[in-house]
Amino acid sequence: MKSVFKLISTFLLLLSLFVLACRKDDPAPSTDSDTTSASDDAIAETIVNDLEAVGAEAAENQGSLTNFKSASGTAISLANCATVSIVNKIITVDFGTSCLCNDGRTRSGKLIYDFSASSPSTAIRYRNPGFDMKLSSQNYVVDGYSVTITSKQVKNTTPLTLPTGLNPGTNLTWSINSNISIVKPSNAGTITRLTSYTKELLNTNDTNCYRGQSKSIVWTLAKVKFNGNSNGINAKGENYTNTATDLVRDMNCSPFPNKPKRHPFISGKLNHTPGTKATRYIDYGNGACDINATVTINGVIYNITLP
């Protein structure tokens, strides 16, 4: 009997040692702290937004295109190395082979803005209700990121009954839908992005910024807000989804001393979910004019710097 108990005891001891050994060999669960996809998405958000911003300013100032590149009323203010032309309601912005713009970004290639489908046909300015602009590109590169526009459409969704004078009692609004791919520098991966956003000029009631339908918007004073959703494939080949809530860009905010025409988002949130990973909660802050943002993953907060 003692032999049986001794045998059982020995077996249990060996079993416990085996279990402990297995536990010791098991790797500790890794912490999900990868902010690369979130940072890439912040860059893509900026690139996509700037495509529309250039067209917005060009369409507002088409009456004097030479001023578009340096006028005080423009928020991006292209350098003299960019040429702007308009033929039959099609605006072409040509950055040549290398153009250092006043927002500190180097661009090359062409951006084409076609607003011939606007309805009514008199809606030829970005501020006009019914204005409808389609974007395309030719060999467009910004800061080493190669951008291909499969489709991008911006429509002024402000009611046609908008009063034409100052302080119309409602904010100007636009819808933005796009399908864009971005190749990172050194072929470090491709980001695809399908976006459905709304845009709102928050300070339409500021008569120094919005001066009625007869005059162009003074973009250096504009404050705009974006809401919507996007999805696509990130540079790692993962599917992702985004939800943007109240992303605010203040064109009077320029936190880069040597890049006065660069305007990052200063508030709002972007929920970014890459593949099967936890959602990355990107917080752009509460309105301070800076280049700081945070990414929260599984309750852990990481600081990132905006591009």
| pLDDT tens digits, one per residue of 116-134 | 999 999 999 999 999 999 9
**For 177-235, how does the pLDDT look when each residue is reduced to its tens digit (9 = 90+)?**
999 999 999 999 999 999 999 999 999 999 999 999 999 999 889 999 999 999 999 99
Which token pair is 232? Answer: 């696509």
* ω into 120 cis (within 30 of 0): yes
- The pLDDT assigned to 8 comes to 42
pLDDT at 92 over 80: yes
Which token pair is 58? Answer: 């060009």
As a whole number, mean pLDDT of residues 35-64 equals 82
Smallest CA-to-CA distance from 2 within 10, 54, 166 is with 10
- The pLDDT assigned to 27 comes to 54
- The pLDDT assigned to 54 comes to 87
pLDDT at 290 over 70: yes
Q: For residues 96 and 11, what is the distance between their CA atoms, to the nearest angstrom? A: 79
pLDDT at 72 over 70: no
Which token pair is 153? Answer: 């459409």
pLDDT at 3 over 70: no
- The pLDDT assigned to 57 comes to 82
As a whole number, mean pLDDT of residues 231-246 equals 95
pLDDT at 20 over 60: no
Residues 6+ apart with CB under 8 A from 282: 38, 41, 42, 269, 270, 271, 272, 293, 294, 295, 304
The amino acid occupying position 261 is K
Please count the other Cβ atoms lying within 10 Å of the Cβ belonging to residue 209: 20
- The pLDDT assigned to 38 comes to 82
As a whole number, mean pLDDT of residues 159-181 equals 96
- The pLDDT assigned to 28 comes to 53
The CA angle 215-217-218, to the nearest 5 degrees, is 115
pLDDT at 140 over 70: yes
The pLDDT mean for the chain works out to 86
The amino acid occupying position 275 is G
Which token pair is 168? Answer: 């119309």
pLDDT at 6 over 60: no
Q: Is 62 in contact with 75 (CB distance < 8 Å)?
A: no
Q: For residues 15 and 23, what is the distance between their CA atoms, to the nearest angstrom? A: 12
- The pLDDT assigned to 212 comes to 97
Smallest CA-to-CA distance from 141 within 100, 195, 102, 91 is with 100
- The pLDDT assigned to 76 comes to 59
Per domain, the residue ranges of the chain are 33-305
